[in-house]
Amino acid sequence: MITKENPARTTEVVGVLPITGPAGVDAAVRRAEAARRDWSAHPIAGRVAALRRCAAAIAGRAEELAVLLARESGKPLADCRGEIGFALAYLEWVCERAPDVLAERVTDDGAGRLVTRRRPYGVVACVTPWNAPVILTMTKLAPALAAGNTAVVKPSPLAPLAAGAVAAALPHVEVVHGGAETGQALVTHPLVRKVAFTGGDAAGRAIAAAAGAMLTPSVLELGGNDPAVLLPDFALTPDDYERLVMASFATSGQVCMAAKRLYVPRRRAGEFTEAYVAAAERILLVGDPLVPGVTMGPVISGEAAARVRELAWGRGVAVPLGRATGDLSAGYFVTPVLVGGLADDDPLVVTEQFGPAVPLLVYDGEEEVVGRANASELGLGASVWSGDEERAFAVAGRLEAGFVFVNTHNRTGMSLRAPFGGVKRSGYGREYGEEGLLEYVQTAVTHAPAAFRPGGSGMPATAYPDRA
């Protein structure tokens, strides 16, 4: 059984779920496969209408789901409300865009007749994380279902309740629960035709290897060690500083695209630190996620708390940030810190810390900072902060990241139309945008070359096609 505790009050059990064994996974996949042909045969307008009806039902439970998410994950309730709302907004965006993006394309001209169709894969296996479980489940299910696939979802056992409830409310989605064994059984099932995964590096390698052994295509959104580069002309308002603080400490720093390394010009480091600490004092309130006004809750587990403390304390100069309220001894709370005086090879700099600690690193020149920002195996996100937008875009173009924010970072810089994903060891494939829709279809072509249509000139059997 999975017994899910509240990370803010560890004696409180939020829910208990049975683990799905291999036989249960097999049954779930087979149910999804049985539903596949009928669902994919529906016109896309019918699928979209069904998804919108489900969205309305989920919206009617939004507050209940937000409270459940806060209790199981430790995220502040206001953030959980925002996550539910954003997941529904993305579902609606998919419903609006899918009919056009996935439409059949016909070209009939002097070169011949070419029909391009977008066809679903079949059963999609979705293995989802705990840190933003509802939205990161929806980024897979919404485009997969709109495209005519069915799905089996395995939420993380660290936050399975709200994500599982939302997934189960959508049409032709099966939900299984468990850890690595359940995930392995799902990803390697012979009837699974696509795998979608968001999570850490180690799990991502295991998922990719298992899917690869089955020749099953996958989309992987893995970790990041995002640099935030402040150029010498940065001009941050108090609101900008608060946004930068939350770029690192939202969800207690447990976000793949959080600002995880802050690069500041040496001559402005003192000024920056003073303003940053003041902003954190204003915006960071650590406490129980159900208490109004709290902006940072606990980390997800005792193991996570111990790992972050080991990374953040004992080297460099750790400056505690923000304020606290209530009894923090009841849960997995970690004091947020800004850490200065570290070398580039310090574990807090080279490791995706995935917690409330961020290093402050100084630099002297643009070439230097670009090189240091790129000196990571990971390349998910990055940001550039400057009073000159053109200069910011020029530097952004030199950073090795799949998504570069300008004068913001993390969720405040996201857009439903902008494809998101990593380069290097941060995975492959994209979510959001039209690219996120196209991840869940295969291109199928029917072609009649002009040479072989009625009245065509023909072509020798040994000929190659012409440029057309």
What would the two tokens of residue 280 be? Answer: 């954190």
Q: Mark whether 33 is an active-site residue.
A: no
Residue 175, beta-bridge partner list: 153
Hey, which bits of 276-421 come out as E strands?
285-286, 317-320, 323-324, 337-340, 357-363, 378-379, 381-385, 403-406
* H-type alpha helices, 169-321: 180-187, 201-213, 238-249, 269-283, 302-312
Q: 109, exposed or middle or buried, with CB in 10 Å at 0-12, 13-18, 19+?
A: exposed
The type of residue at 117 is R
CA distance 226 to 203: 20
The 8 Å CB, 24+ separation contacts for 452-459 are 453/112, 453/113
Helix, strand or coil for residue 460? coil
Q: Mark whether 126 is an active-site residue.
A: no
Q: 38, exposed or middle or buried, with CB in 10 Å at 0-12, 13-18, 19+?
A: exposed
The owner of tokens 């309730």 is 77
Catalytic-role residue among 221, 242, 400, 439: 221
Catalytic-role residue among 80, 95, 126, 256: 256
> So which residues are the catalytic ones?
221, 256
